[in-house]
Structure formats: C-alpha cells, structure tokens
Amino acid sequence: MRNNQIKSIAMLLDLLIKFQSNPYFNSIVDKHLCTLIEKGIDLKDYFDSTLPIFQIKNEEYPSLHEDDTTKIYAVNVEKQKEIFGRYDDLIGNSLYVSGEEDVTMVPIEYHMINLPVTLTSDPKRFINSLTESDKVDLYENLTI
C-alpha cells in the first residue's frame, strides 16, 4: 500500500468510529484488522470504541451480583443477538451464589469481544501482528 492509501484508510476508519459506532459495522474492520496493525495504522481510537468490544446491557444480565471475581468466558456465537435469552447457559450457572439473604452485592459488567473473523480465521497472525507492532498503547485496552 502506498502512503496516500494508508492515510485514506485511516481517515475512513476514523469516520466509521465517529459516525457509525454500532458494533454491527465492525465486520468492515474485523476481516482486515491484522493488515491494519501490520501497516502501522493507529488503532487506539478503534479499540477504545464500541466496534471491537461492547458492553452487554440487557435486563436478563443483572447489573448487581454477589460474586465479585473477574471472569473471562470464551463463548462462540454465530450472531451477536444469540447472547440474549441464554444468560444461564452462557454465564449465570458459573457464577457463585451463596444462597444467603444478607449478602453484599457488587456491580458487574458484561462485555463481548466483537472480533469473530480475526479470532477464528487466523488468531496466530493476530497475536504476531500485535507482538511485532510498535504501538504498545494497544495493550492498555480492554479488548486486547
């Protein structure tokens, strides 16, 4: 890629982040993420946006729980909407519940990593791209 093409892609990515930040639009970036990292395009704003990761806010997913541990689950779904209606299957059954009435409740957040193509088609390339990148600020991001 020539420099002007890289600048154009960076500008288009910036527009996508600012004006089309719905996670469904991430499919445009996801399939090219490794190439963007390898070309040195600044992706800090992208990773800080709601495109590659979004918070699940749904009444089925409670905002308070007695289990205050940080947990990471690998859940494979074909479409994002498949996480709704399956709280107990995906997460609920693995959270600790004491059964006591007088329990301290803590805030809990649910996030979904939205990189299906990158993480399934060639995860080694993704890791290698991140490792070889000189953009160390990417590692400060929740998605990474």
- The string of pLDDT tens digits covering residues 8-40 is 888 888 888 888 878 888 888 888 999 989 888
Q: Where are the alpha helices (DSSP H) in 23-122?
A: 27-30, 33-38, 44-48, 87-90, 116-121
pLDDT at residue 68, rounded to an integer: 78
User: Do residue 65 and residue 97 come from a single domain?
Assistant: yes
pLDDT at residue 96, rounded to an integer: 66
Backbone angles phi, psi at 53, to 5 degrees: -150, 140
Tens-place pLDDT, residues 55-106: 888 888 888 878 777 878 777 777 778 888 888 877 777 766 767 777 788 8
User: Do residue 74 and residue 49 come from a single domain?
Assistant: no
User: Do residue 1 and residue 49 come from a single domain?
Assistant: yes
Task: Please state the domain count of the chain.
Answer: 2
User: Do residue 63 and residue 48 come from a single domain?
Assistant: no
Q: Alpha-carbon distance 51 to 16, whole Å?
A: 9
Is residue 42 over pLDDT 80?
yes
Q: Which residues contact 40 (CB under 8 A, 6 or more apart)?
A: 6, 133, 134, 135
Is residue 1 over pLDDT 70?
no
Q: Is the pTM here over 0.85, yes or no?
A: no
Is residue 49 over pLDDT 80?
yes
User: Do residue 105 and residue 140 come from a single domain?
Assistant: no
User: Do residue 21 and residue 69 come from a single domain?
Assistant: no
User: Do residue 33 and residue 45 come from a single domain?
Assistant: yes
Which of 26-35, 117-126, 128-137 is predicted with the least confidence, judged by mean pLDDT?
128-137
Of the pLDDT bands very low, low, confident and very high (cuts 50, 70, 90), residue 124 is: very high
User: Do residue 49 and residue 61 come from a single domain?
Assistant: no
The boundaries of the domain holding residue 118 are 1-53+113-144
Is residue 53 over pLDDT 70?
yes
User: Do residue 44 and residue 64 come from a single domain?
Assistant: no
User: Do residue 23 and residue 38 come from a single domain?
Assistant: yes
User: Do residue 99 and residue 126 come from a single domain?
Assistant: no
User: Do residue 102 and residue 120 come from a single domain?
Assistant: no
